[in-house]
Amino acid sequence: MKICITGGAGFIGSSIADKYIELGHEVVVIDNLSLGFKSNIPKEAKFYEMDINDKNIIDVFQEEKFDVVTHFAAQMSVRHSVASPSNDALTNIMGGINIFDSASKSGVKKIIFASSAGTVYGEQNEFPCTETHQNLPVSPYGVSKFAEEKYLQYYHTVFGLNYTIFRYTNVYGPRQNPFGEAGVIAIFALKMLKNEDTYLTGFGKITRDYVFIEDVVAANVLALSPEITGIFNIATAIETDLDYIYDSLAKLTHYNKEKVYIAEKIGEQKRSVCSSAKFQKLTGWQPKTFLPEGLPKTVEFYKSLVQK
Ligand SMILES: NC(=O)c1ccc[n+]([C@@H]2O[C@H](COP(=O)([O-])OP(=O)(O)OC[C@H]3O[C@@H](n4cnc5c(N)ncnc54)[C@H](O)[C@@H]3O)[C@@H](O)[C@H]2O)c1
Ligand 1 centre distance from Cα of residue 8 (Å): 8
Rg (CA), the chain: 19
| Architecture of the CATH domain 174-208+238-272+289-307 | Alpha-Beta Complex (3.90)
Q: How many CB atoms lie within 10 A of CB 217?
A: 18
Angle at which helices 184-193 and 291-307 pack, to 10 degrees? 50
Is the pLDDT reported for residue 190 higher than 80? Answer: yes
**CA 6 – CA 12 distance, rounded (Å):** 11
Indicate the top mutation candidate among 5, 14, 35 to test ligand 1's pocket, ranked by most ligand atoms within 8 A of CB: 35
What is the CB < 6 Å shell around ligand 1? 7, 9-13, 31-36, 51-53, 72-74, 76, 91, 95, 114, 116, 168, 170-171, 177, 183
Is the pLDDT reported for residue 191 higher than 90? Answer: yes
Concatenate the DSSP letters of all residues of 142-193 into one string. Answer: HHHHHHHHHHHHHHHHHH--EEEEEEE-EEESTT--TTSSS-HHHHHHHHHH
What phi, psi does 111 have (nearest 5°)?
A: -110, 135
Share of the chain above pLDDT 70, in %: 100
Please tell me the predicted confidence (pLDDT) of residue 142.
98
Please tell me the predicted confidence (pLDDT) of residue 308.
75
- Of the listed ranges 1-5, 75-79, 247-251, the one predicted with least confidence: 75-79
Provide mean pLDDT across the span 204-231. 97
- Ligand 1 atom closest to the CA of 9, numbered from 1: 39
Q: Is the peptide bond before 292 cis (omega within 30 degrees of 0)?
A: no
Residue 26 is given by DSSP the state E
Provide mean pLDDT across the span 194-201. 95
Fold for 2-171+211-234, please state it: Rossmann fold (3.40.50)
Protein residue whose Cα sits closest to atom 42 of ligand 1: 76
**Which pLDDT band holds residue 137 (cuts at 50, 70, 90)?**
very high
Which amino acid appears at position 32 of this protein? N
Give how far Cα 182 sits from Cα of 36, 69, 76, 201, 285, Å: 13, 24, 7, 13, 26
Round to the nearest angstrom and report the end-to-end CA distance of the chain: 37
Protein residue whose Cα sits closest to atom 35 of ligand 1: 73
What phi, psi does 19 have (nearest 5°)?
A: -65, -45
Is the pLDDT reported for residue 307 higher than 90? Answer: no
Please tell me the predicted confidence (pLDDT) of residue 176.
97
pTM: 0.98
Please tell me the predicted confidence (pLDDT) of residue 206.
94
**CA 138 – CA 117 distance, rounded (Å):** 12
Q: Over the chain, what is the mean pLDDT?
A: 97
What count of residues does the chain have?
308
Please tell me the predicted confidence (pLDDT) of residue 29.
98
Give residue-wise pLDDT tens across range 280-300: 999 999 999 999 999 999 999
Query: Residues 172, 4, 287, CA angle at the centre, nearest 5°?
Result: 30
Write down the catalytic residue from 20, 141, 155, 210.
141
Please tell me the predicted confidence (pLDDT) of residue 134.
98
Share of the chain above pLDDT 90, in %: 96
**Residue 2 in 3-state DSSP?**
strand
Which of these, 190, 225, 186, lies nearest to 67 by C-alpha position? 225
Give residue-wise pLDDT tens across range 24-65: 999 999 999 999 999 999 999 999 999 999 999 999 999 999
Would residue 141 show up in a list of annotated catalytic residues for this protein?
Answer: yes
98: Cβ contacts below 8 Å, ≥ 6 apart = 52, 53, 54, 55, 57
- Structural domain boundaries in the chain: 2-171+211-234, 174-208+238-272+289-307
Provide mean pLDDT across the span 142-149. 98
**CA 210 – CA 56 distance, rounded (Å):** 37
Is the pLDDT reported for residue 182 higher than 80? Answer: no
Please tell me the predicted confidence (pLDDT) of residue 179.
85
Is the pLDDT reported for residue 8 higher than 80? Answer: yes
Is the pLDDT reported for residue 144 higher than 90? Answer: yes
Q: In angstroms, how far apart are the furthest CA atoms of the chain?
A: 57
How many helices (H) and strands (E) the chain has is answered by: 11, 11
**Which pLDDT band holds residue 84 (cuts at 50, 70, 90)?**
very high
